[in-house]
Structure 1
Amino acid sequence: MALLRKINRILLVLLVLMVCLLLRSTLLRASTRPRLSENRKSPKNAGQVSQEHAAEAHDVVPVVICASEERMGASMATINSIISNTDASVFFYVVTLRDAVKLTRRYIEKTKLKGIRYKIVEFNPMVLVGKVKPDSSRPDLLHPLNFVRFYLPLLDILHSRVIYLDDDIIVQGDIRDLFNIKLKPGHAAAFATDCDLPSTHETVRSIGMQTTYMGFLDYRKQEVKDLGINPSDCSFNPGVFVADMNEWKKQKVTKELEKWMEENFRQNIYSSAMAGGVATPPMLIVFHDKYTILDPLWHIRHLGWSPDVHYPENFLQEAHLLHWNGPFKPWNYPAVHLDRWEKWFIPDPSGRFSLERPDDDS
């Protein structure tokens, strides 16, 4: 009997150890990748639907957009502009940090956006440890959500193709037309090049915006020279792109992007002091000569690089998408073409996000 009790105690200890090992393994996996929030809601709420249901429909246009706490109103304006200019079924992957999940859900549920189909995805910034250096020159460019575009496969997206959009964007065209672009065989993404629209060239030159690889990479570094990329090659802006998820995974794009992030962490081959900050250069390197070119009207950019330089009104009317990339955002002041953005702004039901205008008392 004593021997039997001893064996039972040994078995119990072994069982406890196995449970502890399983818990430790689960916690380690959770800490090394972006996490999804559960977002369980009652069946009567049609807005927040499961990814499984979203993937059933083949005519859905999936859009990935980030929603940071301090720029929540920007993301909601982008979403509003998309759904207001299409009759397509759009599904939004709204990516945010843990502290902003409740705010994100409230902004959607308590406004005219309550009928959209969406899933809130929680991004874990720990995935960036050892890949991004602190930099005081442009701290906004180092926000963890700036790097979500690198990690699309880790967002558990069940669609084979998605559109990624920055939050400082207004969509004036039918998003379905952008989604339906034909990607060339072997291409994992489609971008608009920085040399593609003669109508903007004079404006771009006047504000000193870079349009070639020379403006984004440090060609004094041997690691950059070894790439064999001509410094005069046209760059592209990764704030708008269409991604083929199967090709992205097949080509291990995320792993390649991380490799260059880690290389920059060690060698400083680009920095936020250069034109594209730290999120653009890895994309430029990995996708060099390996992307499909978008119709330039689907990415009219640089609206945020000067508070004084305006585009012609007829040109803005033709644009399918407007991008206020740069430091002068349309929800602040000064900025240009405020009416084009404010048309889609939805007031924050929590009162945290507000527009800054010259007649404000604050």
Structure 2
Amino acid sequence: MPRSGHLLFGFSLLLLYSAAAATAAAAAGGGDGVPRFREAPQFYNSPGCPPPLPPSSAASCSPSAMVHVAMTLDIAYLRGSMAAIHSVLQHTSCPQSIQFHFVASSAIDYLNTTISNSFPSLSFRIYPFDDSLVSGLISTSIRQALDRPLNYARSYLARLLPDCARRVVYLDSDLVLVDDIAALASTPLPDGIALAAPEYCNANFTSYFTPSFWSNPALSMAFEGRKACYFNTGVMVMDLEKWREEAYTERIEEWMELQKRMRIYELGSLPPFLLVFAGRIAAVEHRWNQHGLGGDNYRGLCRDLHPGPVSLLHWSGKGKPWARLDAGRPCPLDALWAPYDLLQTPFSIEDS
């Protein structure tokens, strides 16, 4: 079949899936209105992997874990989180040697049961996040979802996670991997560097801060002597040991406290990260964060992939693939997210 035929056939399947997803979204919730998910396939270690970690929903931090993954969990984005976990396990060579560290501020019992039922072989623990840690520091931004306290939990991982998790891969909930996360986790971090992420130096960096910030030499000199480039905080390799040593959480909080007194930025939790880390990170190939697939923060229109190879697709922005599927208005690239969706459907597409 020619390439155009494959694309047309794929998009036709996506439209069929979209109709099924809309039905599933209405039917999958229980009497309490929370979503229900099916069990994911079982994935096994390849030869040469470390020994499998014991499955547990209250796992102790394991020094023998090949990769430590950190994510946040909440009801609103749980469908995306489940797909992200599914994609990580499906594409790694050593799925039984990966340990997940989840952070949640509510519904922890339900989240614990849901993860256990869908991934019975997973080694994980959910760490409670106290919203009051950050709620008094949050300033309103251009999109309400960016103002949720849990959106700032990534800044507190060094406090929340045990010392055993020295290096973690932090992942947002609106992404899927199509490559082995072990390759991302092994990104070299030079001495003195606590964070690695794809950098985008062609982005307009000045737009992330207000004119008041740039016109004040005492503030703008924060970037003096470093080549500050935009990076997306939805995919990061973090050295939490170095993070603790350098008190980076406290440095981020200082900028947030200043933002409460005078508005120096507009976009949620990202600018404080840029203020502390931009120009001071290890670069990662762009393939590990094909971001922006959710469109901008206002309209969430469809976008294409960036040029180059793809290891991770990230629906950052307003438009989320599950919401567009449920609404019956999917973007073409949402077809790449749909196979990882574990929302429990009342019928199988194959049987329809």
What letter matches 2:335 in structure 1? D
1:127 counterpart residue number: 133
TM-superposed CA distance for 1:326, in Å, is 0.3
Percent pairwise identity: 26
Sort the Cα spacing of 1:96 and 1:327 in 2 relative to 1 into closer, same or farther, 3 A: same
Check the 8 A contact 1:191/1:240 in 2, yes or no. Answer: yes
Check the 8 A contact 1:219/1:225 in 2, yes or no. Answer: no
Secondary structure of 1:303 counterpart: coil
Check the 8 A contact 1:131/1:262 in 2, yes or no. Answer: yes
Secondary structure of 1:246 counterpart: helix
Normalising by the residue count of structure 2, what TM-score does the alignment of the two structures yield? 0.74
**2:67 maps to 1:74:** no
1:50 counterpart residue number: 59
Greater C-alpha radius of gyration: 1
**Distance in structure 1 (CA, Å) of the matches to 2:63 and 2:273:** 31
Can you list the C-alpha shifts for 1:116-149, whole angstroms capped at 9, x where unaligned? 11101111001014311345x4110011111011
Alignment of 1:285-324 (within 5 A): 285-305=275-295, 306-311=300-305, 318-324=309-315
What letter matches 2:251 in structure 1? E
**2:90 maps to 1:94:** no
Check the 8 A contact 2:166/2:240 in 1, yes or no. Answer: yes
2:143 counterpart residue number: 138
Normalising by the residue count of structure 1, what TM-score does the alignment of the two structures yield? 0.72
**2:249 maps to 1:257:** no
1:345 counterpart residue number: 341
Q: Give the superposed CA RMSD.
A: 2.3
1:103 counterpart residue number: 110
Query: Where do 5+ consecutive residues of structure 1 fail to align?
Result: 1-44, 197-210, 272-276, 352-362
**Distance in structure 2 (CA, Å) of the matches to 1:156 and 1:231:** 30
1:24 counterpart residue number: none
**Distance in structure 2 (CA, Å) of the matches to 1:343 and 1:117:** 23
Check the 8 A contact 1:329/1:335 in 2, yes or no. Answer: no
**Distance in structure 1 (CA, Å) of the matches to 2:344 and 2:144:** 25
What letter matches 2:305 in structure 1? Y
The higher-RCO structure (CA 8 Å, 6+ apart) is 2
**Distance in structure 1 (CA, Å) of the matches to 2:89 and 2:131:** 29
**Distance in structure 1 (CA, Å) of the matches to 2:160 and 2:116:** 22
Check the 8 A contact 1:218/1:224 in 2, yes or no. Answer: no
TM-superposed CA distance for 1:348, in Å, is 4.9
Check the 8 A contact 1:217/1:281 in 2, yes or no. Answer: yes
What letter matches 2:99 in structure 1? F
Check the 8 A contact 1:212/1:232 in 2, yes or no. Answer: no
Secondary structure of 1:307 counterpart: coil
**2:218 maps to 1:212:** no
**Distance in structure 1 (CA, Å) of the matches to 2:239 and 2:229:** 22
**Distance in structure 1 (CA, Å) of the matches to 2:207 and 2:85:** 31
Check the 8 A contact 1:65/1:95 in 2, yes or no. Answer: yes
Query: Where do 5+ consecutive residues of structure 2 fail to align?
Result: 1-53, 347-352
**Distance in structure 2 (CA, Å) of the matches to 1:148 and 1:251:** 18
What letter matches 1:324 in structure 2? W
TM-superposed CA distance for 1:278, in Å, is 1.5
**Distance in structure 2 (CA, Å) of the matches to 1:228 and 1:219:** 15
Sort the Cα spacing of 1:130 and 1:108 in 2 relative to 1 into closer, same or farther, 3 A: closer
Secondary structure of 2:71 counterpart: strand
2:168 counterpart residue number: 162
**Distance in structure 1 (CA, Å) of the matches to 2:317 and 2:244:** 30
Can you list the C-alpha shifts for 1:225-279, whole angstroms capped at 9, x where unaligned? 23245999421111110011111111110000000011101111112xxxxx221
TM-superposed CA distance for 1:105, in Å, is 1.6
TM-superposed CA distance for 1:212, in Å, is 2.9
- Of 64, 67, 83, which residue of structure 1 is paired with 2:70? 64
**2:175 maps to 1:184:** no
What letter matches 2:105 in structure 1? L
Secondary structure of 1:227 counterpart: helix
What letter matches 1:219 in structure 2? P
1:200 counterpart residue number: none
